[in-house]
Amino acid sequence: MNKNQRLSAAARNTPAARAPNHRLPNPRLPWDNPRFRNWIAVIRADKAVVRAVAQALAPLGMKIHHLDILTNLYRHPGLSQLELANRLLVTRSNMTMVLPQMAKAGWLRREADARDKRVTRLYLTDKGEAALYPALEAYQGIIDRVLSLSSEAECDQMGEVMRRVAEELKEG
């Protein structure tokens, strides 16, 4: 019989015996960091913006990832699936799932690369462009509404900080 098995039932049933030992000496908890409040504000703002954009796109039959793809193909016609995935910071398999749906909806077309038949180039169709414009209008409305809460200088500062955050956490 080991030490734990020798404990009496009463001793094993005390709160101290039941609870795992999560207390560390001098724990460094995130909410003890003065910057935690601001970090939570960034996370909440991100979630609120994503929710607002999703709600604005829903009546158009579009999701945020559709808007991201259409916008990139509008700005950079002929991207390969890999190039598009890299721009959107997603895996190529994510693109494999959504691109056929978008092609079936008539929003984009795929063409074999003239020099390398293994590569497929992606292009926005007229129907995709027509779907993109009202989506961009709704998106721009949200951007204007949200960023009008700050001055131009504050907006620039916020953007610079977020670019530094992205660079700091960049994979590689």
For 83-104, the pLDDT digits (tens) are 999 999 898 888 889 999 999 9
The predicted pLDDT at position 1 comes to 53
User: Which distant-in-sequence residues (6+ apart) come within 8 Å of 15 by Cβ?
Assistant: none
Helices within 27-91 (DSSP H only): 36-57, 64-75, 81-88
Within 10 angstroms of residue 92's Cβ, the number of other Cβ atoms is 13
| Beta bridge partners of residue 121, listed in sequence order | 80, 111
Answer whether residue 33 is part of any domain: no
Q: Residue 102's domain spans which residues?
A: 49-151
The stretches in the chain having pLDDT less than 70 are: 1-26, 172
The predicted pLDDT at position 18 comes to 55
CB 103 within 8 A of CB 109: yes
| Two tokens, residue 92 | 């190529």
Claim: this prediction has a pTM higher than 0.75: yes
CA distance 19 to 15: 6
Furthest CA-CA distance within the chain: 78
Answer whether residue 86 is part of any domain: yes
Answer whether residue 18 is part of any domain: no
CA triplet 165, 169, 172: central angle to 5 degrees? 140
Looking at the structure of the chain, the number of domains it has is 1
Instruction: Give the pLDDT confidence of 136-164 residue by residue, as tens digits.
Output: 999 999 999 999 999 999 999 999 999 99
Answer whether residue 26 is part of any domain: no
